[in-house]
Structure 1
Amino acid sequence: MRNPTTRTFLCIYFPERTDRGVETKNVCVAFNGTTERALYRAVERLGSTEIKKRIAIFSYDHLVKVAEREDRGITEVIKMRLGDSVLRRGGRVRRTVTVKRDDVARWRRALMREAGIGRRVFQEILAFLDDLDGGEKRASGVAA
């Protein structure tokens, strides 16, 4: 990146299965020269295969489905996952998710029944599920 205000582009090849067989889709991702410089520098030498491994998406169809599920553009999904992979390893990542209260209650019940609450990892998962359910601790161990 020469000029910090310019955009730099990275193209990623994705296979796409169609009626005519496997075709290619190239997705070009634009990196802002000021706010996304560190991310671009971290991935600029990676090839398509390595990038797809880092974002855990290997086909264009899957990329589109993930983008629709997360209500994001496909390039935004790629940049967010690349950032998580190369810049924030082991760090906290903020995400907005939609979870049904019934699912949280079912997960909590399964953990309480099967996991053996004495193990720390299960206590951490239960605390996470409590946070998903509005942060209210439940003495009975079951979400309302």
Structure 2
Amino acid sequence: MARSDVEWLAADEQVAWRNYLRGSARLSAQIGNDLFEQHQLTLNKYEVLVRLSETDGWTMRMSDLADDLVHSRSRLTRTVASLEEEGYVVREACSGDGRGRNCRMTDSGFALLQELAPDHVGSVRTHLLDKIGHDDMVTLGRIMAKLLDEPTTAP
């Protein structure tokens, strides 16, 4: 039974919402598949390396990394454990906090990231930017920043 207190989506809003869901899922799958086919690395692992590369000392507290990636703590732990086994990151105790753990990218991880980045950017261009163009890409970024409550300009 429909609730009378709900402002249901208009037909065009419903189409937009479903296109967003399908489009974002397909885009993530395409970019992830490209990365895996070319380098046998998942998009989740790549994103961990990217986030670490953007920090001082290539180090982040695990809980902050999970929040930044919008991953559950357990999902991040599994991803980082795999990267650690491959020698691309190490987990270390947080200084001054015995309970917390940091994830630090190794030189090997940074070398891998440098190798992967051109192909990843090429995939983003092929599957997104070339299809929607620069202006829509910037608009999309601005829209997503609103959802994240983040700045809309580059650092």
TM-score normalised according to structure 2 size = 0.25
Q: Which has the higher helix share?
A: 2
Q: What's the TM-score, normalizing by structure 1?
A: 0.27
Bigger relative contact order (CA 8 A; separation at least 6): 2
Q: Which has the larger radius of gyration?
A: 1
